[in-house]
């Protein structure tokens, strides 16, 4: 008694929804991606409504976020005014795209505020132990962020982040 494709798709979609939530995105976002990812052809907004049960409004805003991250692509058909959406299937490309997006994010602003704390201290140095201690700690964190940042930038620069590169990294880490 074979499990129906419908059931499998549903389970898969639920799985991605949870993964989405885990990363702090709405679970609906994961569901939208899953539906597109399992569709052989690009889907229109209304088709996504039908598949996910979400409303047009929600999908409209969330799919824009997905597009900004490079996880879905919007296309049109000649003589059809609907938009059609397809999932990005090259996940390595998606990672690059997400990392790029990250650069202008709230996160980066916060990271910069650590850097700012450091320069603020530089500019009006007070020579006591507490001051020195604080400085060192802030500096250490800043350096850590910088390391992470150069990693991210290195990944962005790769033309392709395929399995070969991942394998290389694994090799070095041995």
Partner DNA sequence: TATTACGTTTAGTAATTACTAAACATACAA
Partner DNA sequence: TTGTATGTTTAGTAATTACTAAACGTAATA
Instruction: Give the binding site for DNA (CB under 7 A).
Output: 21, 24-29, 44-46, 53-58, 60-64, 79-83
Which one of DNA, its own copies, none is in contact with 5 (Cβ closer than 5 to 8 A by kind)?
its own copies
Residues 153-172 that bind its own copies (CB under 8 A): 154-155, 157-158, 163, 165-166, 168-172
| Sign of the CA dihedral running 113, 117, 122, 124 | positive
Q: Which of 15, 61, 101, 160 binds its own copies (CB under 8 A)?
A: 15
User: Does position 23 bind its own copies by CB under 8 A?
Assistant: yes
User: Does position 122 bind its own copies by CB under 8 A?
Assistant: no
User: Does position 16 bind its own copies by CB under 8 A?
Assistant: yes
For residues 74 and 45, give the distance between their C-alpha atoms in angstroms, rounded to a whole number. 11
User: Does position 5 bind its own copies by CB under 8 A?
Assistant: yes
User: Does position 103 bind its own copies by CB under 8 A?
Assistant: no
- Closest to DNA by CB, 73 vs 115, is 73
Least distance (Å) between residue 79 CB and DNA: 6
Which one of its own copies, DNA, none is in contact with 120 (Cβ closer than 5 to 8 A by kind)?
its own copies
Which one of DNA, its own copies, none is in contact with 79 (Cβ closer than 5 to 8 A by kind)?
DNA
Extended beta strands in 66-170, E state? 72-77, 80-87
The maximal CA–CA distance of the chain, rounded, in angstroms, is: 77
Distances (CA, A) of 70 to 1, 55, 74, 129, 159: 39, 22, 10, 48, 16
Of the candidates 44, 106, 124, which has an alpha carbon nearest to the alpha carbon of residue 77? 44
For residues 27 and 52, give the distance between their C-alpha atoms in angstroms, rounded to a whole number. 11
Sheet arrangement for strand 80-87: 43-44, 80-87, 72-77
Least distance (Å) between residue 45 CB and its own copies: 21
């Amino acid at each position: 008694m074979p499990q129906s494709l419908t059931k499998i798709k549903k389970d898969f979609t639920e799985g991605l929804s949870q993964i989405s939530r885990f990363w702090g995105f709405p679970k609906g976002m994961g569901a939208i991606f899953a539906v597109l990812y399992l569709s052989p052809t690009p889907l229109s907004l209304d088709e996504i409504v039908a598949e996910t049960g979400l409303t047009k409004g929600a999908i409209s805003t969330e799919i824009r976020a997905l597009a900004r991250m490079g996880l879905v692509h919007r296309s049109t058909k000649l003589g059809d005014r609907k938009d059609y959406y397809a999932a990005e299937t090259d996940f390595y490309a998606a990672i690059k795209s997400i990392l790029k997006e990250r650069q202008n994010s709230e996160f980066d602003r916060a990271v910069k505020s650590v850097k700012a704390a450091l320069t603020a201290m530089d500019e009006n140095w007070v020579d006591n132990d507490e001051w020195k201690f604080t400085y060192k700690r802030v500096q250490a964190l800043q350096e850590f962020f910088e390391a992470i940042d150069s990693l991210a930038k290195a990944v962005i620069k790769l033309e392709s982040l395929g399995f070969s590169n991942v394998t290389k990294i694994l090799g070095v880490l041995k």
